[in-house]
Amino acid sequence: MRKNFRKNKKQEKEKDVIITIKRLGINGEGIGYYRKKIIFIPGALPNEVVVAKIVKEYPHYIQGELVRVKEKSPDRVDFPKDVDPEIGGLELAHLSYAKQLEFKKANVIEALRKFHPRNYDKYKVKNTIPAPDQWHYRAKASYQIERDHGKNKLGLYAPNSHRLIDLPVMPTQSEGTQKTERDIKHLIEKNHVFIADRRKHLDGIKTIVVRQSEATKEIQVTLITVGHKIKNLMNLAKEIMNLPNVVSVYQNETDWRNPQVWGNKTEKLLGKNQITEVILGKKFELSPRAFFQLNPVQTETLYSEALKFLDLTPDQTLIDAYSGVGTLGILAADQVKQVVGIETIPEAVEDAKHNVQINHIKNADYFQGSVEKVLPELQKGGLPIDALIVDPPRTGLAKSLIKTLLRVKPQTFVYISCNPSTLAQDLILLTESYDVRLIENVDMLPQTPRCECVVKLVLRK
Ligand SMILES: C[S@@+](CC[C@H](N)C(=O)[O-])C[C@H]1O[C@@H](n2cnc3c(N)ncnc32)[C@H](O)[C@@H]1O
């Protein structure tokens, strides 16, 4: 529930309006109509009648805020206790889990309807596979730190605001990562380590990233700093190493001009180079900057589905495009003749090469660079591209890559997407040569509107 939901009737203002909610939007917000304009009301559910405040009116829509629910949906569940109602990542926590799964499937269908790739209304979209753990599944926490009125705050910003929620109770975050963040805050204070301050141009710590392996419980800590030489940082790192399960502490350096969380320079301060995760019996060593799914338990289901969809044969060369630390290719290596992975982040490519070795795989190689550049080069060099799995970031595939794929026409093609909207747009082009055989949704992030789809594409004869 949002902050103003707690208001009582007397406090309702003239600007408050009564809205019947028709459906959920792609970000999980309730959608209704007010004076023929669409109104978005986060926290409201379909078929509810709600009192909402008009926050801002735009030319084509209105942003509303939930004041109270007049007629409640039977699908409404209690928002978790003691959790800041404005925290991000819990956009659907007031909706029953069964309905969250239905919403995620409907979200994919809605994106297909909106962009209507060829024959979209005939695609088979299977029911969303539920996550075994709907709480405490996030194995990585990335908390910002700032100094506010003489006190340190470490936590998450409320979405679209500058309000940092200090040590938030985050019910989807794993206990281990939350506790480590709390302990580090205490150690920063004990060691008098500076906190970065943009207004005062002060160097110091800006972000603390804690990642834990589900299989080995090992914890990797990265202190993202503005500036390099931070007084007492090494003392802090030594004390962090004594916290339960912590096996390494890294420093990543950024500056105020960089809008991203991570800077380009990463240096190990103490401990092991990587932490080890285990997925479907294979080991994966992870460097701080390498991508890894946030929900390691459900990752096994996602990858198993992707491998089923691939249905590989021993004579094939599999391209693992957007390969991260080499997960999908390594899991598929014993089913094919050869695996070739492509990934932009150099540390992730190093991890992938190392992971090939520790899993005793002889037929996989990983290349650093963008898929759109490296794939056509490899093809020109004579690499057969008969099987392909793509797992791009939310932005989807580059148009130039789609052009290459339509020319090369891999026989076996699976697309893993974390964004139905870019998936549907990419399918407009890909269905010039491919049919969509099956779409499966796997719920990786319960309580959020996010979903992960596996799509099987079949080359049209
Ligand atoms: C969604 S992750 C998938 C990683 C991996 N398949 C996995 O399951 O762990 C996307 C990966 O693509 C990488 N990436 C982003 N843009 C890329 C590009 N243009 N070419 C190659 N890799 C890219 C990112 O660094 C990230 O590791």
What is the pTM for the complete model shown?
Answer: 0.93
Q: How confident is the model at residue 8 (pLDDT cuts 50, 70, 90)?
A: very low
Question: What 8-state DSSP symbol labels residue 3?
Answer: G
Report the alpha-carbon angle 13-17-19, nearest 5.
150
Give the pLDDT confidence score for residue 4 in this predicted structure.
43
Pairing state between β 265-271 and 275-279? unpaired
CB 299 less than 6 A from any atom of ligand 1: no
Q: What is the pLDDT of residues 423-445, one digit of tens each?
A: 999 999 999 999 999 999 999 99
CATH number at residue 226: 2.40.50.1070
User: In this structure, which amino acid lies at residue 379?
Assistant: Q
**Ligand 1 atom with least separation from CA of 291:** 27
Q: Whose CA is nearest to atom 4 of ligand 1?
A: 324
Q: Indicate the average pLDDT of the chain.
A: 95
Averaged pLDDT, 380-394: 96
pLDDT digit string, tens, across residues 361-380: 999 999 999 999 999 999 99
The mean-pLDDT minimum among 57-71, 145-159, 167-181, 382-396 falls in 145-159
Please check the confidence at residue 106 and state whether its pLDDT lies above 60. yes
* Exposed / middle / buried, residue 312 (Cβ in 10 Å: 0-12, 13-18, 19+): buried
Q: From the CA of 389, give the closest atom in ligand 1.
A: 6
Task: Report the C-alpha gap between 188 and 54 in whole angstroms.
Answer: 42
DSSP 195: B
User: Given this model, what pLDDT does residue 461 score?
Assistant: 83
**Among 279, 310, 344, residue at a domain's last position:** 279
The domain spanning residue 71 has which CATH number?
2.40.50.140
Q: Ligand 1 in contact with 292 (CB < 6 A)?
A: yes
Q: What CATH number has the domain bearing residue 312?
A: 3.40.50.150
| Residue-level pLDDT at 397 | 98
Q: Which helix (H) or strand (E) holds 405?
A: helix 399-408
Pairing state between β 164-166 and 275-279: unpaired
Distance (Å) from CA 370 to ligand 1 centroid: 9
- Exposure of 223 in the CB half-sphere (CA atoms within 13 A): 34
d(CA 264, CA 400): 27
Mutate to test the pocket of ligand 1, among 261, 303, 322 (most ligand atoms within 8 A of CB): 322
Tell me the per-residue pLDDT of 290-311, one tens digit each, with 9 for 90 and over.
999 999 999 999 999 999 999 9
- 137 annotated binding-site participant: no
Question: Which of 59, 76, 93 lies at the terminal end of a domain, its last residue?
Answer: 76
Residue 64 and residue 126 share a domain: no
Indicate the SS3 state at residue 5: helix
Tens digits of residue pLDDT in 140-193: 999 999 998 889 999 999 988 889 999 989 999 999 999 999 999 999 999 999
The string of DSSP letters for 280-346 reads: TTEEEEE-TTS---S-HHHHHHHHHHHHHHH---TTPEEEEES-TTTHHHHHHGGGSSEEEEEES-H
Whether 453 is a known active-site residue: answer: no
CB of 348 closer than 6 A to ligand 1? Answer: yes
293 among annotated binding-site residues: yes
How many domains does the chain divide into? 3
Query: What phi, psi does 44 have (nearest 5°)?
Result: -95, 150
- Which among 330, 344, 368 is the best mutation to test ligand 1's pocket, defined by most ligand atoms within 8 Å of the CB? 344
Residue 88's nearest CA partner among 153, 2, 204, 202 is 2
- The predicted complex's ipTM stands at 0.99
Nearest partner of 101 among 127, 62, 64, judged by Cα = 127
Residues 333 and 233 in one domain: no
Residue 153, domain member (yes or no) = yes
- d(C-alpha 55, C-alpha 302), whole Å: 39
350 annotated to a ligand binding site: no
pLDDT surpassing 50 at residue 411 = yes
Domain final residue pick, 279, 298, 331: 279
- CA pair distance 101, 109, nearest whole angstrom: 13
Write down the pLDDT at residue 14.
55
Domain of 229, in residue numbers: 140-279
Nearest CA to ligand 1 atom 6: 323
Give the C-alpha separation, 403 to 430, whole Å: 9
The reply to whether 322 sits in an annotated binding site is yes
Active-site residue, selected from the candidate residues 39, 249, 418, 423: 418
Please give the distance, rounded to the nearest whole angstrom, from the Cα atom of residue 256 to the centre of ligand 1: 25
**Cα separation of the two ends of the chain:** 52
DSSP 8-33: -GGG--TT-EEEE--EE-TTS-EEEE
Q: Does 301 lie in the same domain as 238?
A: no
Query: Ligand 1 atom closest to Cα of 299?
Result: 8
Q: Any residues with CB less than 8 A from the CB of 160 and at least 6 apart, and which?
A: none
The residue whose CA has the least distance to atom 26 of ligand 1 is 324
